[in-house]
Amino acid sequence: MGRARRFQWPLLLLWAAAAGPGAGQEVQTENVTVAEGGVAEITCRLHQYDGSIVVIQNPARQTLFFNGTRALKDERFQLEEFSPRRVRIRLSDARLEDEGGYFCQLYTEDTHHQIATLTVLVAPENPIVEVREQAVEGGEVELSCLVPRSRPAAILRWYRDRKELKGVTSGQENGKVWSVASTVRFRVDRKDDGGIVTCEAQNQALPSGHSKQTQYVLDVQYSPTARIHASQAVVREGDTLVLTCAVTGNPRPNQIRWNRGNESLPERAEAVGETLTLPGLVSADNGTYTCEASNKHGHARALYVLVVYAPMTVRQEFWSGWALDQRFKYLERFKQDGKGFRSEVKEKRCAISVLWGMKLGEEADPGAVVEAQTSVPYAIVGGILALLVFLIICVLVGMVWCSVRQKGSYLTHEASGLDEQGEAREAFLNGSDGHKRKEEFFI
């Protein structure tokens, strides 16, 4: 009996080969790829199933399901379907160690099996972006981007304002996963402070078009700048002036110092942080006010020259537009000789109203801004008035010139009479008559 069976095997195999696929019972599978933590479905397709036992085994060849019955106690594997057409199992929370060949076996007289290879990929997490050392303006910044686990090795890219930066990437394999790092270096300026650099990681484990990104906000340190803004341009006795010192700098200067040249600040002055309030101004409050700020990278100073004028009268207001030319002369004299200033003002009162408080910038510090006070409204008023006067003169000149032209044509007409009348004497008399009229007109 045993002998007879042994002889039957080659015959059966021959028969199976002759019949070809599909003729007998058969099982087919497909390879499966899943992202770590995801759900994988392994399908064993049956052909001409006749009720034989179907066994599914894991890569370690442990039986997961024996003809539809759970054999291995691992709840992550579930039997989804067992029909004469297919057996489908579902693996949730796939892990790297689940990788390998899954066996679909059909126990018939000639045992069929097919292997479905499960591949587990690892998607990158959000990259870790770090700076090597504190960036200072004029220097270089070096950023590193790290993706500790990915499979296959993640591709790292750097972006700055949608422009790709060239980084240097290196990878290291730790067992089944890759650790990938990339570094990028570039020069930085103060304007780069607060700029955003992005590191992007991508591999096949992520859905196509998706990536993991980390944004890094650049922190570039730079020396301070200072600028004084005055609450009003022209300052008169009794006014309250508020000076604001606008400072920048990284780290931000934490203290602003207010001074007035060599002298002390007026008693009434109140310096709180960025502002200096000068209430009830008197002419003795004039002088060069400065605000100073510093951080570990430098020092900045801004100047404001305060000139307090006498209160304005209505008449001065009215004439201010006409005093435009005088204004520049006064400012020049003021610069040369501060003492001569007040007496000049007294001499020509009408010019006072267009004299302005002058604001100067910083002295030698970097980023200094020298800002001369402009007086656009007065310039416009003066300009318009000048234009009006010019137009009136034009009209007058035009009228006069037209009158002259009429006289001229009259003369020409008289001259043409020379030909018409034919008599030279008469024409001469008429002509001389016309000349007399012309003289009259010019007188």
Binding site for ligand NAG (CB under 6 A): 31, 51, 53, 67-68, 82, 117, 261-262, 283-284, 286-287, 307, 338-339
Nearest to ligand NAG of 164, 337 (CB atom): 337
- Write down the least CB distance from residue 281 to ligand NAG, Å: 11
Nearest to ligand NAG of 32, 246 (CB atom): 32
Tokens of 296: 């570990």
Amino acid residing at 314 = V
Nearest to ligand NAG of 124, 266 (CB atom): 266
- Write down the least CB distance from residue 283 to ligand NAG, Å: 4
* Residue 251 CA: distances (Å) to CA of 135, 173, 197, 248, 275: 12, 41, 20, 9, 20
| Structural element, H or E, at residue 246 | strand 241-250
- Write down the least CB distance from residue 301 to ligand NAG, Å: 13
Asked if the peptide bond before residue 253 counts as cis, ω within 30 degrees of 0, the response is: no
- Write down the least CB distance from residue 282 to ligand NAG, Å: 8
DSSP per position, 350-395: GGGGG---B----SSSTT----PPP-HHHHHHHHHHHHHHHHHHHH
Nearest to ligand NAG of 188, 358 (CB atom): 358
Q: Is 238 left (phi over 0), alpha (psi -120 to 50) or beta?
A: left
- Write down the least CB distance from residue 265 to ligand NAG, Å: 14
Give the SS3 label for residue 126.
coil
**Residue 381 and residue 77: Cα distance in Å, rounded?**
89
Give the SS3 label for residue 153.
coil
Task: Compute how many other C-beta atoms are within 10 angstroms of the C-beta atom of residue 421.
Answer: 12
- Write down the least CB distance from residue 96 to ligand NAG, Å: 15
Nearest to ligand NAG of 131, 305 (CB atom): 305
* Residue 363 CA: distances (Å) to CA of 203, 246, 368: 56, 16, 7
* Residue 275 CA: distances (Å) to CA of 153, 156, 356: 56, 48, 21
Nearest to ligand NAG of 229, 342 (CB atom): 342
- Write down the least CB distance from residue 387 to ligand NAG, Å: 35
**Residue 134 and residue 173: Cα distance in Å, rounded?**
31
- Write down the least CB distance from residue 83 to ligand NAG, Å: 8
Give the SS3 label for residue 349.
helix
Task: Compute how many other C-beta atoms are within 10 angstroms of the C-beta atom of residue 2.
Answer: 6
Nearest to ligand NAG of 372, 397 (CB atom): 372
Nearest to ligand NAG of 329, 413 (CB atom): 329
- Write down the least CB distance from residue 32 to ligand NAG, Å: 9
Q: Per DSSP, which regions of 122-231 are E strands?
A: 128-131, 135-136, 140-150, 155-160, 163-165, 168-174, 177-187, 196-202, 212-217, 220-230
- Write down the least CB distance from residue 292 to ligand NAG, Å: 15
Nearest to ligand NAG of 3, 339 (CB atom): 339
Nearest to ligand NAG of 33, 248 (CB atom): 33
Q: 252 φ, ψ to 5°?
A: -65, 130
Beta bridge pairs of residue 26: 47
